[in-house]
Amino acid sequence: MHKGISETFYVDPISTQLISMRNLILFCIGISLFSFGCKSSEELSVSKSMKTAEAQLKYSLKENTDKSTFPRSVNPDGTVNSVPSKDWTSGFYPGSMWELYAYTKDKMWADSAAAWTAGLESVKMNTHTHDLGFVLYSSFGNGLKLTENPKYAQILLQGAQTLSNRFNPKVGSIRSWDFGPWEFPVIIDNMMNLELLFWATKYSGDSTFYDIAVRHADTGMKNHFRPDFSSYHVIDYDTLTGKAIGKQTHQGASDESSWARGQAWGLYGFTMVYRETGEKRFLEQAEKIADYYLNHPNMPEDMIPYWDFSVFNTPNQPRDASAAAIAASALIELSRYSSKGNIFFLAAEKMLKSLSSPEYLAKTKSNHGFILKHSTGNYPKGSEVDTPINYADYYYLEALNRYNLLNK
């Protein structure tokens, strides 16, 4: 049986390497925090943010009663964009309810989450997508952790088996899409689906799942990143040789630009892989991605990036709150493992403070019940531009829960 690192929180001594001016400021603050864990003098009000999130999701539940479709975003005409269970975002709506249950311990949220989660079971057999981890782990995975429902474990295990069938040993990766001009496309987002495979090895004792996940992560580390540790979105592989034959984007500004959410997926993914394996190379990769992300010259002062880092000086470009929420959650976890933990924690805290401000956090009974405003899905296609999106809400709540646990 493979085992990852300990789940016990710790703070390593701050490293003495050269750091940027921004990190120097955070470093100095971090030194003052060192004796007191990760608390800051101006703490984020998790309780206030969670209270708003509760009110919003209660409002959403009144608007959305058909449990066969899942609120994903808001259309340009102001209507809710609801999607079927096979959509890659379907698990985030019940996932947000599970996150609220984890915080509040209110059985109402467990009951609502379970009711909405039930409609996703068929996804465990969907062989046409790599997003089984996104759908199943955010819903059934959270449900299993919080309720220990044995049925959830069997659904997750079947999902992991289905996902494993998309792995190509010659390429060393799990295939992402079944559409488009590519021979064997792998997107950086796919790192997020590996958590389901790591869980499956721990549950079943079958190391095949673990080996696939590690191989995919190693292949991604080799091919997905530029020398500065920014990420390509899509890598196309030759299935006969296993070599990368194309490096492109599908949702970024250009093939060589830095799509903000892609950077966040990579940061979160490699942090999680380190947690599950304890292999130092994955920690180092996560740290370097974090350094790139946090020190990018086009990162706005409020730490909520534009949808692509290359459009900083281009007029009328939208932000992506979802990228910030994903990155904040990842940085809080990374702060547990890294010698620069205080730097990463304080950066995440700043992101969460911005997301919890009136600029991004929706007022109660507005925004169709979505929690956050100003996310961007696929700007080049004109899809979900400057709108609420359910995965922004989910990772925001996850980040708040992680922050709350470490900051007590």
Q: How many other CB atoms sit within 10 Å of the CB of residue 114? A: 20
Give residue 37's pLDDT: 39
Please give the Cα distance from 293 to 228 (Å, whole number).
Answer: 10
Please give the Cα distance from 92 to 94 (Å, whole number).
Answer: 6
Give residue 42's pLDDT: 52
Give residue 39's pLDDT: 44
The answer for residues whose C-beta is within 8 angstroms of residue 331's C-beta and 6 or more apart is 267, 290, 344, 345, 347, 348, 351
Taking only the tens place, the pLDDT of each residue in 253-264 is: 999 999 999 999
- Please say whether the beta carbons of 273 and 196 come within 8 A: no
Secondary structure of residue 187 in the 3-state scheme: strand
- Please say whether the beta carbons of 192 and 233 come within 8 A: no
Please give the Cα distance from 398 to 408 (Å, whole number).
Answer: 16
- Please say whether the beta carbons of 209 and 165 come within 8 A: no
Give residue 407's pLDDT: 83
Encoded tokens for 122: 């068929």
Encoded tokens for 341: 């933990």
The answer for residues whose C-beta is within 8 angstroms of residue 2's C-beta and 6 or more apart is 201, 202, 207, 210, 276, 277
Give residue 362's pLDDT: 98
Please give the Cα distance from 81 to 29 (Å, whole number).
Answer: 43
From the first residue on, what is the mean pLDDT of each consecutive set of 10 residues in the chain (408 residues)? 46 30 40 38 83 98 96 97 98 98 98 98 97 98 98 98 98 97 98 98 98 98 98 98 97 97 98 98 98 97 97 94 98 98 98 98 97 98 98 98 92
Residues taking part in catalysis:
131, 189
Give residue 313's pLDDT: 86
